[in-house]
Amino acid sequence: MDTLQLQNFARDIRVTTLEAFKTPLFGHIGGAMSICDVLAVLYGSVMNVDAANPLLATRDKLVLSKGHAGPALYATLCLKGYFSREMLTELNQGGGRLPSHVDRTKTPGVDMTAGSLGQGFSAACGIALGDRISGLATKTYCIVGDGELDEGQNWEAMLFAAHYKLDNLTLFVDYNKRQLDGYTDDVMSLGDLRAKLEAFGFVTFNIDGHNVKTIQNAITRGQEQAVKLGKPLAVILNTVKGKGCDFAEATGDHHMTFTLEQLETTIAKLQSEVYTV
């Protein structure tokens, strides 16, 4: 996809995420909306995946470690043809295939179960190392939240990624500056995150997480450097919690209830946006 197509894809992911929320009328809308642009780039341009073969060993893999943002991944997978639009009504429904936190046993296209924060990057390291040992030329991607980095297991996994020179692994930090109960800087500051990731042995980019072209360039250039240096890649995505959804952006709430009217007004606003490159 070119830049304009990616912008439109990101908008469609946002709209489809909001459509899915029409059934439960509650959920983690802020954390879902902040990752729509990186999902658009990954599934629109970067990842080698096939909706008709979601378990193909040679596919690239994504671990959505901040598993509560599942609705945005479900919207992406739905738009890519992994499942029907009707299935979106199963979001957050007991016994449904779209649980509030991602589950690889329930949803076609979901590569890893997540929700207990802090564990996903370890799983991504294992997938990347396993694929390399199996001789597969795949890439593994992982999205963690900034609040999620409070969990020490992430930092153990970072040591592992650098030690094993996992140049087939990309870590995205969705740095929306907020977590469940406040600002990340107030709860547990990450300090100079870029310097930390570099010190841990990552090729590191610190970018606007809502600019699809910038994200795509960071992945392309970053992966080139990572392979050359035998290092994993980290991309800090500076984002806004709730991006594109005014009522979620306004409060920054982590989990919220909303009305059908609020969703419809936001969808109409997003659909009226015209992008130029």
Q: By CB under 6 A, name the binding residues for ligand TPP.
A: 31, 34, 66, 68, 115-118, 145-148, 174, 176, 178-180, 241
Question: Of 41 and 69, which CB lies nearer to ligand TPP in the complex structure?
Answer: 69
Question: Of 60 and 148, which CB lies nearer to ligand TPP in the complex structure?
Answer: 148
Nearest approach, Cβ of 71 to ligand TPP (angstroms)? 11
Exposed, middle or buried by CB within 10 Å (0-12, 13-18, 19+), for 20? buried
Interior/surface letters 239-262, b for 16+ CB within 10 angstroms, e for the rest: bbbbbbbebbbeebbbebebeeeb
Residue among 61, 240, 238 nearest 139 (CA): 61
* Rounded (5°) CA angle 90-91-92: 110
State which residue has the least CB distance to ligand TPP: 145
Question: Of 168 and 179, which CB lies nearer to ligand TPP in the complex structure?
Answer: 179
Question: Of 116 and 134, which CB lies nearer to ligand TPP in the complex structure?
Answer: 116
Nearest approach, Cβ of 237 to ligand TPP (angstroms)? 10
Question: Of 32 and 263, which CB lies nearer to ligand TPP in the complex structure?
Answer: 32
Nearest approach, Cβ of 100 to ligand TPP (angstroms)? 10
DSSP per-residue codes, 136-187: ----EEEEEETGGGGSTHHHHHHHHHHHTT-TTEEEEEEE-SEETTEEHHHH
Nearest approach, Cβ of 145 to ligand TPP (angstroms)? 2
For 76, residues 6+ apart whose C-beta sits below 8 A from its C-beta are 13, 16, 36, 39, 40, 43
Nearest approach, Cβ of 265 to ligand TPP (angstroms)? 23
Nearest approach, Cβ of 64 to ligand TPP (angstroms)? 11
Question: Of 180 and 256, which CB lies nearer to ligand TPP in the complex structure?
Answer: 180
Nearest approach, Cβ of 119 to ligand TPP (angstroms)? 8
DSSP per-residue codes, 26-86: EE-HHHHHTTHHHHHHIIIII----TT-TT-TTS-EEEESSGGGHHHHHHHHHHHTSS-GG
Tell whether the torsion through CA atoms of 254, 212, 219 and 63 is positive or negative. Answer: positive
Question: Of 39 and 117, which CB lies nearer to ligand TPP in the complex structure?
Answer: 117
